[in-house]
Amino acid sequence: MKRGVLCEEEKEAKKQKLLDQIGDGHLPYLSPKDDTFYDLWRTCYSKLTLLQAKHINADLHHTVQNAFLSLLDNGCLFQDLVRLKGKDILTPVSRILIGRPGYTYKYLNTRLFAVPWINDELNTQYCTRNLLDTYKAFSDLNKFLYSQTVNELQKLRKAHKNDCFQHFDYKEQVKSDKRPCTLNNENKELHSLEPFNVTLINYMDPRDMPCLKEEPYFGMGKMAVSWHHDENLVEQSTVAVYNFSYQESAHDINGDDKDPATWNVGLKIAWDIETPGLCIPLNTGDCYLMLDDLNKTHQHCVIAGCQPRFSSTHRVAESSRDTFQYIKSQCNSALQNLHMDPDTGAAALKSLEPRVLGQTEEIHNEVEFEWLRQFWFQGKRYNKCTTFWKEAMTELENHWKQMETMTSLVLKAIENENLTVDEKCNILKNILPCLVERQNLRQEWRERCRSKLAKKLPPDQAPCCYPYWNDDNKSMPLSFDLHSITFALQNRLETLEA
């Protein structure tokens, strides 16, 4: 766990404490019909910018809105079976990730694989021409939202400078506790200017989701997306959202004190019950930007209106360990230690250096659990949208299978080679934790694939426990179930150390 980051249990306890403090009542929140709404926005939510639909080019609206509908028509939006506090939950919202070729984005323990929004090299990766244009629309929207973000960040920097200047001038008069929230980090370098690398598309028709949760702190209404910070983003990077709701509907799920038709984004300061929350209605075509560190200092949620609604949420995903290019190079570095005899095809390990063997087993786990099993857990959904990931996974699976061979070669080496007791102990100490973890995670993924919720999903989205094989499968060097192997190795280590 990173320092300074609250773990799940601590967060849950803190949240429960807040809810207990609130009791049966609700905390105040402001919406445009409140007089002080804009004052609160300016002072405590100044890094939230709304870009009204009327200020955006009509052609862009047209292209993007058609692209959303095309995703729906082509069946490219999927509810995710995410894992939250050790439980599997089906998200009310359906999603697809679109972005740079090879990028992925992890949220709630689920790795989403980006459908490439443009691909100059290969045109065979889409089922239809129509989908190619659809994805490209989000690349166009991405460019537009990025240019708006750069503008807004410049404005923010100017305002920030003025604030600092004024603050300097009136230092004696301005009491620090009266300073508006914008002045909190005067000396800090502002924002990341990296372009967005992915967009997570959301879709929900409230008529299909009669059991949405009530917003618990303020009583803002039914939540399509609960309170959260967006995870796994580059620090201080902006999130930009395009909002599109369509079709009239008479059905109102949120009571009558609010315009029944509109969707709202809710904001609050994390762990703060003094400052009122903010509820911002979103008209179709409106965009909002969560600039700089707003996503870190504040949480947001989405309050459902009564129309079906899409959003495209552009972000700078933290990508150091999250691209196909990265995992491929990890595999290649692990496979450096494998020698294949060109004549006989026999496999051998080049080095028995414990550290090298341990690293290979770590990469083995990484490719198996962070990539292959994450991918197949999402069923065959990606086939509908792109061939990019099927091809990528075939490549990774081949590498992974060679690593199964490498593990079997280490186990043989421990049995047969002329190694000293110390050498054997060192090898075992380096590889055993990885093997135990592999065994545990294989069981966990297998159970997730067999859960009740998993079985309810449509056939093309049903989780596959893959790779999976029986002991009589002669093409696999080791069993799927590693229980007896890890048990024997643990005993072996204890005996050697005795």
Ligand X SMILES: O=C(O)CCC(=O)C(=O)O
Binding site for ligand X (CB under 6 A): 200, 202, 225, 230, 241, 265, 300, 302, 311, 313
CB of 230 to ligand X, least distance (A): 5
Which residue's CB is nearer to Fe ion, number 80 or number 230?
230
Checking 457-463 for CB contacts under 8 A at 24+ apart, the result is 457/79, 457/81, 457/379, 459/379, 460/379, 460/380, 460/381, 460/383, 460/384, 461/78, 461/378, 461/379, 461/380, 461/381, 462/379, 463/81, 463/376, 463/377, 463/378, 463/379
The answer to whether the CB of 100 falls within 8 A of the CB of 195 is no
The answer to whether the CB of 408 falls within 8 A of the CB of 154 is no
CB of 426 to ligand X, least distance (A): 45
Which residue's CB is nearer to ligand X, number 153 or number 233?
233
CB of 309 to ligand X, least distance (A): 8
Which residue's CB is nearer to ligand X, number 202 or number 407?
202
Does 286 help bind Fe ion (rule: CB under 5 A)? no
**Over the range 346-356, which residues count as b (16 or more CB within 10 Å of their CB) and which as e?**
eeebeebebee
How far is the C-alpha of 282 from the C-alpha of 47, rounded, in Å?
17
396 binds, among Fe ion, ligand X, none (CB under 5 to 8 A by kind): none
212 binds, among Fe ion, ligand X, none (CB under 5 to 8 A by kind): none
Binding range to Fe ion, per CB under 5 A, among 155-163, 213-221, 223-231, 394-402? 223-231
Which residue's CB is nearer to ligand X, number 282 or number 427?
282
Structure tokens that stand for 403 in this block: 């690593």
CB of 23 to ligand X, least distance (A): 28
CB of 39 to ligand X, least distance (A): 24
Which residue's CB is nearer to ligand X, number 45 or number 445?
45
Contacts of 1 (CB under 8 A, 6+ apart): 7
Which residue's CB is nearer to ligand X, number 265 or number 331?
265
Which residue's CB is nearer to ligand X, number 306 or number 357?
306
Q: Closest-CB residue for ligand X? A: 311
- Distances from the Cα of 90 to the Cαs of 28, 81, 109, 474, in angstroms? 30, 4, 13, 37
How far is the C-alpha of 94 from the C-alpha of 123, rounded, in Å?
27
291 binds, among ligand X, Fe ion, none (CB under 5 to 8 A by kind): none
81 binds, among Fe ion, ligand X, none (CB under 5 to 8 A by kind): none
Binding range to Fe ion, per CB under 5 A, among 227-235, 243-251, 354-362, 465-473? 227-235
Binding range to Fe ion, per CB under 5 A, among 38-46, 58-66, 78-86, 229-237? 229-237
Q: Which of 80, 152, 215, 230 binds Fe ion (CB under 5 A)?
A: 230
CA 428-434-438 angle, to 5 degrees, is 130
The answer to whether the CB of 118 falls within 8 A of the CB of 139 is yes
Peptide bond preceding 342 in cis form (omega within 30 of 0): no
Q: Which residues of the shown chain bind Fe ion in the complex (CB under 5 A)?
A: 230
